[in-house]
Amino acid sequence: MITFTNFYEWFFQEKDRPAAGLFSFGHLFSVTLCLAIFLTGAYFLAKLFRGNEKKQNLVLLISGIAIIVLEIIKITYCCVGTNNLADAILGNWPLYFCDIPIYVVLVSALSKGRVKDCCLDFLAICGLLMGFMGNYFAGNIYGSHAAFSFFALNSLLNHSLSAFVSLFIWVSKLNKMEKRNIPFVIGILFTFMTIALILDYCFHKNFMFFFFGDGTPFTLFFDLVRGNLILYQMIIYILQCGYIGLFYVVYYAIIKQYKKKHPQEAVSN
């Protein structure tokens, strides 16, 4: 007979359960299934609510609240039974690249004007990356936890929500991708990274993986510079902020080619 205690030990504490392992069947199957569900839902909701600003904002609002709730649940669980509450809270505070939607999605739903535009562009550009990279290359999660466990499921839902929001924005055509907003969109990430780096040095943490890769692809770059922290941290900045810049370059190149092939459509717009 399954009891709450048995389930708690099995699901939360992962008692007598081995880690799934990066790219294992359990890892790839759960991630692919979850992303397929979330992205399909995002596509159909975007089509259903296209042109309806109130309902679009409602989707963003619910998504923003859901991401925050997931993070609160994780931090609360980490605080249960700990002897150092402050360290448990600070150590699990959402200050990684894939945590940025915890702050930005809700702002995008509640703000207006240029602030909203910048937030929507950021989420459109980075959300799908977070969803796919954060799920498929989560060596720090699946290298330490079973595929169906509290931490793996929490991480999976969190990253999948980011992908959901991103695709919803693209299909709904909510992002404007204006050139004048590029410095501010990159600035969202740059500011967040700088805060994380300062806290890393102050409290000896590894937010944004600034001190070691922890099983993520950043480990390759850490090894490449042979552990030189200054070079490694510069690479982290260049890779992540550069991704947004590169995305804009590719985006405008595609738009330019599209307008050349469809001049009449470009004029009508």
Per-residue pLDDT of the chain (269 residues; tens, 9 = 90+): 667 788 999 999 999 899 999 999 999 999 999 999 999 999 999 999 999 999 999 999 999 999 999 999 999 999 987 888 888 898 889 999 999 999 999 999 999 999 999 999 999 999 999 999 999 999 889 999 999 999 999 999 999 999 999 999 999 999 999 999 999 999 999 999 999 999 999 999 999 999 999 878 899 999 999 999 999 999 999 999 999 999 999 999 999 998 888 776 654 44
pLDDT at 140: 86
Give CA–CA dist 138/130, Å, rounded: 11
| Residues ≥6 apart with Cβ < 8 Å to 206 | 200, 212, 214
| Residues ≥6 apart with Cβ < 8 Å to 117 | 175, 176, 178, 181
| Cα 97-102-103 angle, rounded to 5 deg | 95
Task: Report if pTM > 0.85.
Answer: yes
Give CA–CA dist 39/88, Å, rounded: 33
What ranges in 80-212 are assigned the alpha helix state H?
A: 85-91, 101-110, 113-136, 139-142, 150-172, 182-203
- Chain centroid to Cα 147, Å, comes to 19
- Chain centroid to Cα 263, Å, comes to 36
pLDDT at 2: 67
